[in-house]
Structure 1
Amino acid sequence: MSATIPRLPRLPRLPRRRWSRWARRPRVWVPAAVVVLLAMSAIRTFGGTEALTGSGVVSTALRLAVPIGLAGLSGLWSERAGVANLGIEGMMIIGTVCGAWAGYTHGVWAGVLAGVLGGVAAGLLHAVVTVTFGVDQAVCGIAINILAVGVARFLSVIAFSDLPGAGATQSPPVKGVIGTVSVPLLAGGWGTPDILGQLEQSRWFLISDVSGILRGLLHEVSWFTLLAVALILGSVLVLWHTAFGLRLRSAGEHPAAADSLGVRVHLMRYCGVLVSGGLAGLAGAYLVTVSSNVYREGQTGGRGFIGLAAMIFGNWRPTGTAGGALLFGYADALQLRQAAAMHTLLLLAAVLLWTAAIVVLRRRPRLAAALALLGAIALAVFQTTDSIPTQLIYATPYLTTLLVLVTIAQRLRMPAYVGIPYRRGDS
């Protein structure tokens, strides 16, 4: 009688790595981008709003989006580690005054480095108070914002009061400038022909619009902007493709489980908050080296809080945060370059909302009805008004963020333990 060899149970297959829905399904976002471009091109052609897709608006939007994107990236690093950082605005303020002082005394790139170090110092204070002593993170962030205003005034009085052309609320000009670069052949770099500029001036349907958008992204781009793009891509690489990033994110998702596996949760949270402070300080340094060459009191203008909104808009991911920052920057740029075009955006919003309603009609009829109603409201406002109040223009990005939160709130997922202090032994 032959012995029967028992069969071993089949091991379950490991699930394949799931990328973001938009990255995995180009058949979703590519048609969406084409629809948006067609709508913008049609409105630009028949509405006479050349700035809607002009390279000037896109270039301005990119410059305005950089500090917001860096602020959002700052919040992302901190919250992925489990520490809510509402003090980004204050860290940016410290970065502006430190960057202006070093930029005046040692040059523009020294100002950038000093801004980063100032932000790191403010981030270290936030980490010590919240991670080590377990103080409420929201309260600490608000306290840093208040403290930073007083510290910035104190430092500016000491550093700038006796200098010519400066005072307690303003610094002298920063020495040197951060240069720009243009892509050869496409955007006129290195004395080559500006092909995209010629196509933009031709006023052709869709072709000129695509050319204007691409030229705005490729013509006279600041080296600081390229640094910000590299930081966004680097954040994706570090947080999602390295062991260090996995440990840091585990400190924000389930610190007790991470601790049981040997992850030093407090160290990871310190790292996240310090990187967050450095990025916020870098955003502040941008304001005094690229946006302007001087420090002025109140220069940040709430960009730290706008960055947090961009982070939520991007679902706590670097690329989504960058997209939210571009949305905020585009709204501001369009208002600065051609305020009348903001009124035309109501028509564009109506077209896009109705298109989205048709797409989701079969799967989510209630959402489709809500989108169709919003589109009808946008069209009614467009037809009954000749301009948009300035206050509403400034509120447009916030309203867009609220609309995103309402429509796809179930897909937004913040780190599970963000804002919750951790003590060893907690479960």
Structure 2
Amino acid sequence: MSAVTTSPPAAATPPAGKFRPTWPVVLLGVAGLLVLLSLTRIVTGAHDITSSGTVSAALGLAVPIGLAGLGGLWSERSGVVNIGLEGMMILGTWFGAWGALITGNPWAGVVAGALGGAVAGVLHAIATVTFGVDHVVSGVAIILLGTGIAKYLSALIFSTMKGGGDTQSPRIPGMQSVGLWGPAGDNKWILFEGADPLRTLESQRWFFVSDLAGVLRGLTTNVSLFTILALLLVPLSFWLLWRTAFGLRLRACGERPVAAESLGVNVYYYKYVAVIVSGALAGLGGAFLSIVAAGTYREGQTGGRGFIGLATVIFGNWRPGGLAAGAGLFGYTDALQLRQGGTSVHALLLVVALLLAAVAVYQLVRLSRNRAALLTGVSAIAVFAVFAITDTVPEQFTSFTPHLTTLLVLSLASQRLRMPAADGLPYRRGQAK
């Protein structure tokens, strides 16, 4: 049967009663959240919750998680569950460091990290698409394989390099960074040298204005070129998957592969492409950890970020925008607990209580979900009570804050989530259904 040409899908009208965020609504929501954070800063005195340092750290912590999540999005939109993101990231950390060290160029490490993850993606595609191995079993095998390969190669290669060892690499050449204001330096490009007006505004600690200046300064100061590349991959993935014929066919393979096959779509080909791209993106996330975040490879460097990236896919309802928001949320909470520990996390309890109260009102008034609104309202009262009777948060809880935030958001958003219909299901060419 000859292939039927498919054109890019036209913008569909959302069903009645189904909320679709628009840019004005998104910007209004961001402004409202910033107002809430500003009020919390003034009430609690925790000035670090909107500081440029926190925002900059959050951006750096969100990038590897977002790249892993973007990889999971590509794979699952084609119908292949990629539990092996963690293993692909591990290979990305090792090959990223190795590529940068042997060439002296960090961009060579970026390419090597992507290729390392892509090779793992090929193995996952062969197992799941060609041989029909259970996706979870194959993913776990990829994690074990990636961990073992990185450990073996480190002992074989890095241990022979000056400054290296069995579990870590020598120092990696620095990645170039850019900024709007500030002093220029090695590997640092500045557009406007001299006084930094955003820093001046941030130091005034005015309501909202200083908070906005802190956020903007954190997003425009000392930003690595790798970070900019990672941010651009989000709209690029959206355009490819939702605005091109290629993306329509790929998503059809994850929704109705038999129907796609009946229209002449090579389902195997699109699944292979999606899983290999998934591995490359996860590898890029790993390369970011070794090249930019740490400047060296260390064993266990990923720290479960591949699994967290998979959680952001679910949080984002298998969409790039929601995925990026989930990665940013995790990066922000992680940055707070790293920079200020219990003080800032304690202030964040007030933000969580107010947000839960707002969600409860929305569930009650707009959705008429009385039971859910009652449960959310009780949770808001409990969180506020903890905030009111304590002055700080125990260190043990602080380190768990990012993970708890992810679980909380997933539980609140579970009712609106819809995974691709054929995600994780075995497919064989010519099957009846």
State the TM-score, normalizing by the size of structure 1: 0.92
Task: Tell me the residue number matched to 1:10.
Answer: none
State the identity as a percent: 52
The CA deviation at 1:403 is 3.0
Task: Tell me the residue number matched to 1:286.
Answer: 288
Distance 1:171 1:21 in 2: 49
Task: Tell me the residue number matched to 2:139.
Answer: 141
Instruction: Please say if 1:110 is aligned against 2:108.
Output: yes
Change over 3 Å in CA distance of 1:90–1:15 after alignment to 2: closer
Tell me, yes or no, if the aligned pair for 1:59 and 1:216 is still in contact at 8 Å: yes
Matches within 5 A, 1:121-270: 121-174=119-172, 176-183=173-180, 189-270=191-272
Task: Tell me the residue number matched to 2:415.
Answer: 410
Task: Tell me the residue number matched to 2:71.
Answer: 74
Distance 1:353 1:70 in 2: 29
Distance 1:73 1:196 in 2: 32
Unpaired runs of 5+ residues, structure 1, are 1-13
The CA deviation at 1:188 is 7.2
Tell me, yes or no, if the aligned pair for 1:188 and 1:195 is still in contact at 8 Å: no
Q: Which range moved further: 54-63 or 337-346?
A: 337-346
Tell me, yes or no, if the aligned pair for 1:36 and 1:352 is still in contact at 8 Å: no
The CA deviation at 1:354 is 1.5
The CA deviation at 1:15 is 8.7
Q: Match for 2:344: what amino acid?
A: A
Distance 2:190 2:162 in 1: 39
The CA deviation at 1:407 is 2.9
Distance 1:206 1:310 in 2: 29
Tell me, yes or no, if the aligned pair for 1:67 and 1:303 is still in contact at 8 Å: yes
Distance 2:175 2:402 in 1: 29
The CA deviation at 1:338 is 1.1
Q: Which range moved further: 391-400 or 119-128?
A: 391-400
Tell me, yes or no, if the aligned pair for 2:167 and 2:298 is still in contact at 8 Å: yes
Question: What does the per-residue CA deviation read over 1:96-130, in whole Å, with 9 as the maximum and x for residues that have no partner?
Answer: 11111111110211111111111111110000111
The CA deviation at 1:384 is 2.5
Matches within 5 A, 1:6-45: 16-18=12-14, 21-24=19-22, 26-27=24-25, 29-45=26-42
Task: Tell me the residue number matched to 1:400.
Answer: 405
Q: Match for 1:72: what amino acid?
A: G
Question: What does the per-residue CA deviation read over 1:274-324, in whole Å, with 9 as the maximum and x for residues that have no partner?
Answer: 000000111111111101121111111111001011111111111111110
Moved over 6 A (4+): none
Q: Match for 1:389: what amino acid?
A: P
Distance 2:194 2:264 in 1: 56
Change over 3 Å in CA distance of 1:162–1:380 after alignment to 2: same
Distance 2:403 2:170 in 1: 34
Unpaired runs of 5+ residues, structure 2, are 1-9, 183-188
**Of 356, 361, 364, which aligns to 1:358?**
361
Task: Tell me the residue number matched to 2:305.
Answer: 303
Change over 3 Å in CA distance of 1:30–1:22 after alignment to 2: farther
Q: Match for 1:134: what amino acid?
A: G
The secondary structure found in structure 2 opposite 1:244 is helix
**Of 386, 393, 396, which aligns to 1:388?**
393
Distance 1:254 1:391 in 2: 46
Please give the root-mean-square deviation of Cα atoms over the aligned residues, in Å.
Answer: 2.0
The secondary structure found in structure 2 opposite 1:335 is helix
Distance 2:406 2:160 in 1: 44
Question: What does the per-residue CA deviation read over 1:376-413, in whole Å, with 9 as the maximum and x for residues that have no partner?
Answer: 11011112323223343333333333333333323211
Change over 3 Å in CA distance of 1:177–1:21 after alignment to 2: farther
Change over 3 Å in CA distance of 1:391–1:416 after alignment to 2: farther
The CA deviation at 1:25 is 7.5
Task: Tell me the residue number matched to 2:5.
Answer: none
Instruction: Please say if 1:371 is aligned against 2:366.
Output: no
Q: Which range moved further: 163-172 or 359-368?
A: 359-368
Distance 2:340 2:190 in 1: 25
Distance 1:391 1:321 in 2: 27
Task: Tell me the residue number matched to 2:87.
Answer: 90
Task: Tell me the residue number matched to 2:7.
Answer: none
Tell me, yes or no, if the aligned pair for 1:252 and 1:418 is still in contact at 8 Å: yes
Instruction: Please say if 1:337 is aligned against 2:339.
Output: yes
Q: Match for 2:56: what amino acid?
A: S
Tell me, yes or no, if the aligned pair for 2:178 and 2:190 is still in contact at 8 Å: no
The CA deviation at 1:16 is 4.0
Tell me, yes or no, if the aligned pair for 1:367 and 1:407 is still in contact at 8 Å: no
Change over 3 Å in CA distance of 1:285–1:31 after alignment to 2: closer
Change over 3 Å in CA distance of 1:119–1:212 after alignment to 2: same
Change over 3 Å in CA distance of 1:36–1:265 after alignment to 2: same
